[in-house]
Amino acid sequence: MQDEFLKLNQEVTDAVAQVTDLEALEKLRVEFLGRKGKMAELMKQMSGLSDEERRVVGVVANQVKGQIEGVFGEVEGRVHKAHEAQRAHEEWVDVTEPSIPPTRFGSLHPVTQVREELEDLFTSMGFLVLDGPELESDYYNFTAVNVPPAHPARDMQDTFYVGGQQNRVMRTHTSSMQVRAMKTHGVPLRMVSPGRCFRNEATDVRHEHTFHQLEGVVIDRGIHFGHLKGVLEAVAKHLYGEDTEVRLRPKFYPFVEPGVNGEVTCFLCKGKGCRLCKKTGWLEVFGAGMIHPNVLKEGGVDSSDYSGFAFGFGLTRLVMLKYGIDDIRHLEAGDLRFLKQF
């Protein structure tokens, strides 16, 4: 009988060694250790033995039973581990894999794109980028920049007068930031200030009540006209390419003296003359000049010690030229068919 138990033990060990899944293992468990299994079968046969024999065989039987249970436990552990490994393999995620780019909802307005590009350029040249109020006092928009109440230049920049204590107006140009910047940052000063401006216009393809400008101011000891031209050239070349030239011609602006109109080589015909530049070869882009002593004075700057230049240009106009947009009103209309093209 002992041998039969040992044989059973061997049989179990061999059978179980082949097992790879828990289901098959459970089947074997029933076959060997179940109530009607092979082990129980052998145990039953022990009743035919003498007491003496039963004692000896009993010891072996118990040992074998223990061993078989041990083997089952072991195999169960092994199969379980294999399962886990398999699952881990199937569910493995590479967290270092590049993510799926987010779907693009909308895009930056073309004016924003050009504005950001210019902010980068000016920042690289050491300029501060300042933000200013769109609803501005009459003082900063006009009086501070040498356009006192009865000045005829006010006619050219009619705007929306909001009134109130400070006589507020929707600012007509970013030049309103000239004196503000001098007062807050003092001198030496190197700043640009882009932003929205407003004028009371009868709108058409070239006129709009809302548009964007970018103002620049540089003040220090010994600043002269050459510095102004240098900066305008840097901007023009950045926008339209290295072979772009800048031409300055006298123009009156109350807040500069001398004042100029800055023109750049037409980027479309390269100066030969075309429809865009009205056959002149030049595009009017900048208003600029040396800051008027009256304006420096308003900003608390001693004009006998410091000098500076200011320039301003229409961001809206740059965008129209850059993309060949023929109607300025597209830019503020919020029409997605237009905006989706950028």
Site for ligand PHE, rule CB under 6 A: 173, 175, 215, 253, 256, 259, 287-289, 310-312
Distances (CA, A) of 265 to 75, 252, 299: 86, 22, 35
Cβ nearer to ligand PHE, comparing 288 with 315: 288
Residue/partner pairs of 319-325 with CB below 8 Å, 24 or more apart: 319/110, 319/111, 319/114, 321/267, 321/276, 321/283, 322/110, 322/114, 322/239, 323/110
Work out how close the CB of 125 gets to ligand PHE at its nearest, in angstroms, rounded to a whole number: 17
Token pair 């905006």: residue: 339
Minimum CB distance to ligand PHE smaller for 32 or for 313: 313
| Rounded Cα gap, residues 147 and 174, in angstroms | 14
CB of residue 335 to ligand PHE, shortest distance in Å: 27
The smaller minimum CB distance to ligand PHE, of residues 110 and 195, is found at 195
The alpha-helical segments, DSSP class H, found in the chain are 2-17, 22-33, 38-45, 51-90, 110-124, 138-141, 153-156, 176-185, 225-240, 293-298, 315-323, 330-333, 336-339
The H or E element containing residue 196 is strand 189-198
The answer to whether residues 137 and 110 touch, using CB atoms and an 8 Å cutoff, is: no
- The sign of the torsion formed by the CA atoms of 190, 192, 198, 199 equals positive
Nearer to ligand PHE, 173 or 190 (CB): 173
**Closest distance between ligand PHE and the C-beta of residue 223, in Å?**
14
248 vs 331, which CB is nearer to ligand PHE? 248
Three-state secondary structure along 219-232?
EECCCCHHHHHHHH
User: At its nearest, how many Å lie between ligand PHE and the CB of residue 308?
Assistant: 11
Instruction: Output 218 or 325, the one with its CB closest to ligand PHE.
Output: 218
CB of 126 to ligand PHE, least distance (A): 19
* Residue-level length of the chain: 342
Q: How far is the CB of 260 from ligand PHE (least distance, A)?
A: 8
Shortest distance, position 213 Cβ to ligand PHE, whole Å:
6
**How far apart, in whole angstroms, are the C-alpha atoms of residue 268 and residue 277?**
8
CB closer to ligand PHE out of 271 and 308: 308
Euclidean distance between CA atoms 143 and 151, whole angstroms: 9
Provide, rounded to whole angstroms, the least separation between the CB of residue 325 and ligand PHE.
20
Q: Choose between 64 and 288: whose C-beta lies nearer to ligand PHE.
A: 288
